[in-house]
Amino acid sequence: MRRHRNVKIVATLGPASSSYEMIRALFEAGADVFRLNMSHGIHDDISERHRIIRQVEKDLGRPIGILADLQGPKLRLGVFGAGAHDLEDGDRFRLDLSDAPGDGTRVQLPHPEIFAALEPGAMLLVNDGKIRLKVESCGLDFADCVVEVGGTISNRKGVNVPDVVLPLAALSEKDRRDLEFVCELGVDWLALSFVQRPEDVLEARDLAKGRAAILSKIEKPAAVKAYEEILKVSDGIMVARGDLGVELPVHSVPPIQKRLVRKARAAAKPVIVATQMLESMIENPMPTRAEVSDVATAIYEGADAVMLSAESAAGRFPVEAVSTMDNVARSVEADPTYLAIIDASRVVRRETVADGIVAAAREIAEATDIKAIACFSQSGTTVGLVARERPHVPIIALTPLFSTARRHALTWGAHCVIVPEQERFKGAVLYAVRAARAAGFAQESDQIVVTAGVPFNVPGSTNILRVAPCDERLISKVEPG
C-alpha cells in the first residue's frame, strides 16, 4: 500500500475510533500515524488501541507510527458554591488559594506557582480565553483582577497565563507515569505539552531513554520565543494553533505557524500542524471551505503532517474526515503552484557529506528521468535530510529497524520499507529496486537513485550515491563481484 501524496496525516483515536474495523478503515482512508491522547482514556484503553494498531500494521504489511500525547500540567479554577456566576466587564474579581467555595467576587486558583510568577498588568484567560482578567495587584496567595471581558465563570474552568513563564515543569506526576507506561508499551513518538524552555524537552528525553522520539508542542508564547533552542533538542515539532490562538492575538498565529514550519523543515525535523483543522466534521460529513483552505495552507507551507483531533476521536464521521484530508493533500500537491512554493522555500545546506549527498540526489532526480530516491538508513537521519530537500520524486526509506520505519511514518514523502541488514552495497541496491517496483514507483526499464552509508549499519555515515537500473539483471554492473 502506497500513498499518492507526500504530506502525512495524523489521526487521533478515541471513543469513535477504537475498534479494529475503524482503525483499519482510518489507515486505509489515509491515516499514517495514530495519536493516543493521554488526557483521555485509562491505561487499559490505551494499551488496547496500541495492540489493535500493531495488528493492523501486521495485517497490512505497512509500518504505522504511534504518537502518545502527554497531557501536561492542567491549570484550573476551584469550585463555586452556586456552580456558576456571571462576570460583567469592569467587575473586580479575586483569585486566591482558599479552598472555600467561590462566589461572584472570588474563587480558588489552587496553583501557588502562578501567584509566585504574576505581576500587575498580567492577563489571566479563563475558559479558553472567553473570560479575560487583568491583574491589578497580587501576592504569593492572591491576585486581585479587573474583568476586561466578562462571561459565565464556573467550576474547574481552565486558566491560561500568557504573559509570564511559569515555574512549572512540563511533566506532571501523571505525565511521568504515562510516559513510562507508553514507552514500555512501545510508542514511536512522545508529544510533550506545556513546553516553555529547552530544559523541559531534555527532562522528557532523559526519562524516555531513547525508547521514543520527542515531539515538542509549541502552544505557549514562551515556547515561541525560545523556539530555536527548543527545536535543537527536539526530534520533531507540533504547531498547536488552538492554544496559541488563546494565549496570543489570533491574527498573529498564521505568520507564527509559517515561521515555525520553515525552521523545523530547515532543521530536517518533522513538523505537524494541528488543532481545529476540520472541526465542523465532528458533526457534519462535509467541511467548510475555510477549513479546507486552512488544511491546504499548512500543506503549501511545507508541513510534514496535518492532524485530526476530535474529528477522528469523537466525531460522527472519522473516516470521512481522514478521506477529506487525503483528498485536499492530493489536490494541493498536484498543483504546479505547490511545487513552485516548496522549491522557493527550500533551504540549501552544505555542512556535511550527507548534506551534499542528499542535495545531489535531488538534483540528479530532477535533471534526469529518475523515478525515486531510495535511502538506506539505520537511525533515520538520512531520511530526514532527503525529505528536507522536498524532491519531486518519491522517497523510499529502507531500514532494518521497525523503530526507524515507524518514526518516519511522520516524515514528508517517506515510503518506509523494512529490509534485512545489508553487508554490501549491491545487496542494498537490489532491495531498493525491488521496493521501488513493488510499490509501483518504477518499472523494469526505469532508474532510481540509491544513497547509503558504507560501511553499513553505522548511523550517520551516508557517503555514497549511485544511479541504479531497475532491471535486476543489470544490478551486477553497479558494483563489481
Residue 49 resides in a domain: yes
Q: Which candidate, 236, 182, 208, places its Cα nearest to that of 410? A: 236
CATH of the domain at 29: 3.20.20.60
Q: Are residues 57 and 119 in the same domain?
A: no
Single out the catalytic residue among 5, 35, 62, 241: 35
Give the Cα-Cα-Cα angle 285, 286, 287 (nearest 5 degrees): 130
Q: Are residues 202 and 308 in the same domain?
A: yes
Q: Is 232 a catalytic residue?
A: no
Among 139, 160, 181, the domain-final residue is 160
- The CB density around residue 73, as the number of other CB atoms within 10 Å, is 18
Single out the catalytic residue among 275, 411, 451, 462: 275
Count of domains observed in the chain: 3
Residue 270 resides in a domain: yes
Distance CA 38, CA 25 (A): 23
Residue 165 resides in a domain: no
CATH of the domain at 88: 2.40.33.10
Q: Are residues 322 and 201 in the same domain?
A: yes
Q: How far is CA 267 from the centre of its chain?
A: 15
CB contact at 8 A, 97 and 142: yes
Residue 78 resides in a domain: no
Q: How far is CA 231 from the centre of its chain?
A: 13
69 - beta bridge partners? 37, 191
Reported pTM? 0.93
Q: Are residues 66 and 96 in the same domain?
A: no
Single out the catalytic residue among 49, 132, 217, 390: 217
Q: Which candidate, 410, 325, 366, places its Cα nearest to that of 67? A: 410
Q: Are residues 298 and 366 in the same domain?
A: no
Residue 326 resides in a domain: yes
Q: Are residues 388 and 442 in the same domain?
A: yes
Q: What is the DSSP letter of 457?
A: T
- To which residue does cell 510499490 refer? 439
* Strand-strand pairing, 131-139 and 123-126: antiparallel
Please tell me the predicted confidence (pLDDT) of residue 460. 64
- To which residue does cell 548534506 refer? 355
Please tell me the predicted confidence (pLDDT) of residue 481. 35
Q: Is 275 a catalytic residue?
A: yes
Q: Are residues 290 and 322 in the same domain?
A: yes
Residue 308 resides in a domain: yes
Residue 132 resides in a domain: yes
Q: Is 92 a catalytic residue?
A: no
Please tell me the predicted confidence (pLDDT) of residue 457. 67
CATH of the domain at 384: 3.40.1380.20
Q: Are residues 222 and 311 in the same domain?
A: yes
Distance CA 120, CA 109 (A): 17
- To which residue does cell 545531489 refer? 360
Q: Are residues 286 and 413 in the same domain?
A: no
| Cis bond before residue 455 (omega within 30° of 0) | yes
- The CB density around residue 226, as the number of other CB atoms within 10 Å, is 19
Sequence-distant (6+) residues with CB within 8 A of 149 are 89, 130, 131, 132
Please state at what angle helix 318-333 crosses helix 289-300, rounded to 10 degrees.
50
Residue 226 resides in a domain: yes
What range defines the domain where residue 357 resides? 353-477
- To which residue does cell 532523559 refer? 206
Please tell me the predicted confidence (pLDDT) of residue 480. 41
363 - beta bridge partners? none
Q: Are residues 132 and 216 in the same domain?
A: no
Q: Are residues 227 and 376 in the same domain?
A: no
Q: Are residues 182 and 323 in the same domain?
A: yes
Single out the catalytic residue among 54, 76, 263, 426: 76
Q: Which candidate, 400, 410, 392, places its Cα nearest to that of 456? A: 400
Average pLDDT along the chain, 481 residues, taken 10 residues at a time: 94 97 98 96 95 98 97 94 94 96 96 94 93 96 97 94 88 96 98 96 97 97 96 98 90 96 96 95 97 97 97 97 98 96 84 88 92 91 93 95 96 96 85 94 95 75 88 66 35
Q: Is 437 a catalytic residue?
A: no
